[in-house]
């Protein structure tokens, strides 16, 4: 059984044999701010992706450090449609710095097909960009929004989450501060609401740090990224109204199809939509046939190079939520 010091109210049953106590949000916020003040003596960088974890972490760190905090958004080219612009808008008040690193990530991922290698490369590339930004401001501390399940999955050898097992062995940073390390996702959302973050952030669907790179099976290329970014946007548009835990598209490979009178050897896109409580396990979401048919015809109609769309029927376990 996992218990941490903030869990001092009614128990929540996560799965048979595993329960936690509900979070005392205000005490958590006070303690996290105190911890950041104690651990950071100079200036610090926070990696802000716009997801609920890093946004909560950035708000706590901003309260603790004010101008001594520089939030950095690395535009990796692996993000969803229009996401970078939106994040820039939302966090301009706390001095967000946006770094364009599209080419750098593509170059680093070139020819790499192994999923764990991809995660490690993404994790390392993020850190190298953060180090460069830290040097510019004379900071030696990195703050990250790592949460409890990221650690469990990395330490349990399931996946090296880019911000835990995917971190490089050597980093220039003298300190790494992770104030959310003991929280589950739904607890992070509670903290987000208490901090007054907009609903668009507090209720945001989880999105993996390595982004679209773990939604492309095999090598990541610019062409594949463009295809999957569009397909992903269609899936989100059609499925978000049913409140899934996560809903997205992944690129599997190529297969033969017919478009007009022509044979086309095009991309196979998988649609995945799951329900979950904490991402440790997940169930396939039941979606009506009409919606599935509309998704399929929109993806093949709006993206000429896609010939086939499939719906993933695998729960976790034995599948994982992401494909890589």
Task: Determine which residue in the list 225, 279, 303, 306 makes contact with ligand XMP, applying CB under 6 A.
Answer: 279
- Tell me the C-alpha to C-alpha distance, in Å, between residue 61 and each of 17, 67, 196, 226: 35, 10, 15, 34
Q: For residue 54, give both structure tokens.
A: 């890093």
Q: Which residue has the tokens 């100079």?
A: 42
Nearer to ligand XMP by C-beta: 238 or 278? 278
Nearer to ligand XMP by C-beta: 202 or 300? 202
Task: Determine which residue in the list 50, 210, 244, 266 makes contact with ligand XMP, applying CB under 6 A.
Answer: 210
- Residue 314 binds to ligand XMP (criterion: CB under 6 A): no
- Residue 119 binds to ligand XMP (criterion: CB under 6 A): yes
Task: Determine which residue in the list 209, 230, 235, 303 makes contact with ligand XMP, applying CB under 6 A.
Answer: 209
Sorted by sequence, the CB contacts under 8 Å of residue 228 that are 6+ apart come out as 212, 215, 216, 249, 250, 251, 269
Per-position DSSP letters for 218-275, written without gaps between them: S---HHHHHHHHHHHHHHHHHHGGG--SEEEEEEEEEEEEEETTEEEEEEEEEEEEEE
- Tell me the C-alpha to C-alpha distance, in Å, between residue 261 and each of 134, 257, 258: 56, 10, 7
- Residue 163 binds to ligand XMP (criterion: CB under 6 A): yes
Nearer to ligand XMP by C-beta: 30 or 155? 155
Q: Smallest distance, Å, CB 316 to ligand XMP?
A: 5
Task: Determine which residue in the list 4, 97, 206, 257 makes contact with ligand XMP, applying CB under 6 A.
Answer: 206
Task: Determine which residue in the list 153, 178, 187, 238 makes contact with ligand XMP, applying CB under 6 A.
Answer: 153
β-bridge mates for residue 19, sequence order:
13
Q: Smallest distance, Å, CB 321 to ligand XMP?
A: 3
- Residue 272 binds to ligand XMP (criterion: CB under 6 A): no
For residue 210, the surrounding DSSP H or E stretch is none
- Residue 47 binds to ligand XMP (criterion: CB under 6 A): no
What is the Cα–Cα distance from 61 to 20, expressed in whole angstroms? 26
Nearer to ligand XMP by C-beta: 70 or 214? 214
Please report, as residue ranges, which positions from 226 to 265 form the binding site for ligand XMP (by CB under 6 A): 246
- Residue 159 binds to ligand XMP (criterion: CB under 6 A): yes
Helix (H, G, I), strand (E, B) or coil at 99: strand
β-bridge mates for residue 11, sequence order:
21
Nearer to ligand XMP by C-beta: 33 or 61? 61
How would you class 144 by CB atoms within 10 Å of its CB: exposed for 0-12, middle for 13-18, buried for 19 or more? buried
Using CB under 6 A, list all residues that contact ligand XMP. Answer: 119, 150, 153, 159, 161-163, 206, 208-210, 214, 246, 279, 316, 320-322
């Amino acid at each position: 059984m996992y218990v941490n010091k903030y869990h001092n109210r009614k128990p929540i049953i996560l799965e048979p044999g595993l329960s936690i106590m509900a979070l005392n949000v205000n005490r958590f916020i006070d303690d996290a701010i105190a911890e950041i003040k104690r651990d950071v003596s100079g200036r610090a960088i926070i990696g802000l992706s716009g997801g609920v974890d890093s946004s909560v972490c950035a708000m706590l760190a901003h309260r603790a450090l004010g101008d001594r905090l520089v939030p950095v958004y690395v535009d990796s080219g692996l993000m969803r449609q229009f996401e970078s612009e939106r994040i820039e808008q939302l966090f301009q008040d706390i001095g967000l710095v946006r770094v364009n690193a599209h080419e750098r990530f593509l170059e680093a991922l070139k020819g790499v097909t192994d999923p764990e290698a991809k995660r490690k490369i993404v994790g390392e590339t993020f850190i190298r960009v953060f180090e460069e930004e830290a040097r510019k401001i004379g900071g030696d501390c990195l703050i990250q929004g790592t949460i409890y399940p990221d650690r469990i999955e990395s330490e349990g050898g399931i996946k090296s989450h880019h911000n835990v097992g995917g971190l490089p062995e050597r980093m220039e940073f003298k300190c790494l501060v992770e104030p959310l390390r003991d929280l589950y996702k739904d607890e992070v959302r509670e903290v987000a609401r208490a901090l007054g973050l907009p609903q668009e952030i507090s209720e945001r669907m989880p999105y993996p740090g390595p982004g679209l790179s773990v939604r492309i099976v095999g090598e990541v290329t610019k062409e594949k990224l463009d295809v999957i970014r569009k397909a992903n946007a269609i899936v989100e548009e059609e499925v978000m109204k049913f409140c899934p835990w996560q809903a997205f598209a992944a690129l599997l490979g190529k297969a033969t199809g017919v478009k007009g009178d022509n044979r086309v050897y095009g991309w196979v896109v998988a649609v995945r939509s799951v329900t979950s409580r904490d991402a440790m396990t997940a169930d396939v979401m039941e979606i009506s046939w009409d919606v599935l048919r509309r998704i399929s015809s929109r993806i093949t109609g709006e993206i000429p190079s896609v010939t086939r769309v499939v719906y993933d029927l695998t729960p976790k376990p034995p599948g994982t939520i992401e494909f890589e």
